[in-house]
Amino acid sequence: MTVDQVSSVADRPRSTANARPARSDTRTGPSMTTRRHRAFYMFTSPWIIGFALLTIAPMAYALWLSFTTYDGISPNWHYVGLGNYRELLHDAQTWDSLGRAGLFAVISVPLSIIAGLALAVLINRPIKARGLFRTLLYLPAVVPPVGAGIAFKILFDQNTGAANGVLTFFGFDAIGWLADPYARYVLIMTVLWSAGNIMIISLAGLQDVPRELHEAARIDGASAWRTFRSITVPLLSPVLLFQTVTGVIASVQTIMPMLLAANPTTGGLTTIPQSNYTYMIHVFSEYFALGRYGYASALLWVLFVLILVATGLIFKFTSGVVFYNVDPEAKK
């Protein structure tokens, strides 16, 4: 869903003006155009102004900080040019934590999309009490992170949690879920827990899939799996792409490792097990534990650029695969 692909109705008259001479531009003359232009900026100004003041300004400030050794209170901070960027390239922690964050995204995002899709297909079968099941499966997705963090901490407590209760009941050894190396699985499970979100969106898509398509496929003798793969998935692909992109961004930014830590405040960052020490947590540590605002700002700018590149790549590689049926204008 690149910018070109979603370019709106309002842009179209220009490209099709020749074909349809009766369109507004030619009919009402330049004053009409000026009015539209002015109106456009009137409507978009809240976002433009807000973006400049609340995003660009702080970002620029962070960029400036990333060239300094600023730590908030020390009197002798100074400009170091690209020093912070050079340092982070040579810091093993940067790469280790980035690798962990990347691995977390690469595992948790597809898993939760598959899970969400599977749930949607499951719930789309003719079953009794569908509304109840749908609601129960969906509700965890709206539990706020703080609630989820507390719930999972209690659930996976090594000695008193239900997870180990079940394991020991079946004769297995208990596991230190919230410590290395298992903490990463708990982190992934918190993401899977909210797969209901993807289920709901996919379900809406599934129910919109034109019935004729399914019937045609059935008459052709296509198996359920083939119908799913060649009709359902392509029709859902824009949703899935959108979920992938937002999922990756959310997973990179997640503060869940902090909420799962023994001490869920910025002072407790050091209690986060190594397997959950993601890039964002590394940034937090540099920020809060070591007070290196300059260095942490450099880390954040690197992350920002990486995310932009990753998103661009996702769009690029899926542009041939993702299928857009609903042309907004065609809807009328």
> Could you tell me the CA-to-CA distances from 308 to 58, 133, 172, 304, 323 in Å, in that order?
18, 38, 45, 6, 23
Check residue 157 for interaction with another protein (CB under 8 A): yes
Could you please report the per-residue DSSP string of 280-330? HHHHHIIIIIS--HHHHHHHHHHHHHHHHHHHHHHHHHHTTT------GGG
Check residue 31 for interaction with another protein (CB under 8 A): no
Among 36, 86, 226, 316, binds another protein (CB under 8 A): 36
Which range touches another protein (CB under 8 A), out of 48-56, 105-113, 222-230? 48-56
Q: How far is the CB of 82 from another protein (least distance, A)?
A: 17
- Restricted to residues 133-152, the positions that interact with another protein (CB under 8 A) are 133, 135-140, 142-152
Find residue 68's DSSP bridge partners: 79
Q: What is the largest CA-CA distance in the chain?
A: 82
Among 101, 109, 260, 283, binds another protein (CB under 8 A): 283
Which SS3 state, helix, strand or coil, does residue 57 take? Answer: helix
Q: Where are the alpha helices (DSSP H) in 92-129?
A: 92-123
Cis upstream peptide for 181 (omega within 30°): yes
Among 26, 79, 208, 313, binds another protein (CB under 8 A): 208
Residue at token pair 């309002």: 10
Residue closer to another protein (CB basis): 126 or 320: 126
Among 16, 17, 58, 82, binds another protein (CB under 8 A): 58
CA distance 102 to 141: 22
Check residue 159 for interaction with another protein (CB under 8 A): yes
CA distance 257 to 278: 8
Check residue 55 for interaction with another protein (CB under 8 A): yes
Check residue 216 for interaction with another protein (CB under 8 A): no
Q: How far is the CB of 120 from another protein (least distance, A)?
A: 12
Check residue 291 for interaction with another protein (CB under 8 A): yes
- Restricted to residues 63-102, the positions that interact with another protein (CB under 8 A) are 65, 69, 71-77, 93
Which range touches another protein (CB under 8 A), out of 98-106, 225-233, 235-243? 235-243
Q: How far is the CB of 261 from another protein (least distance, A)?
A: 9
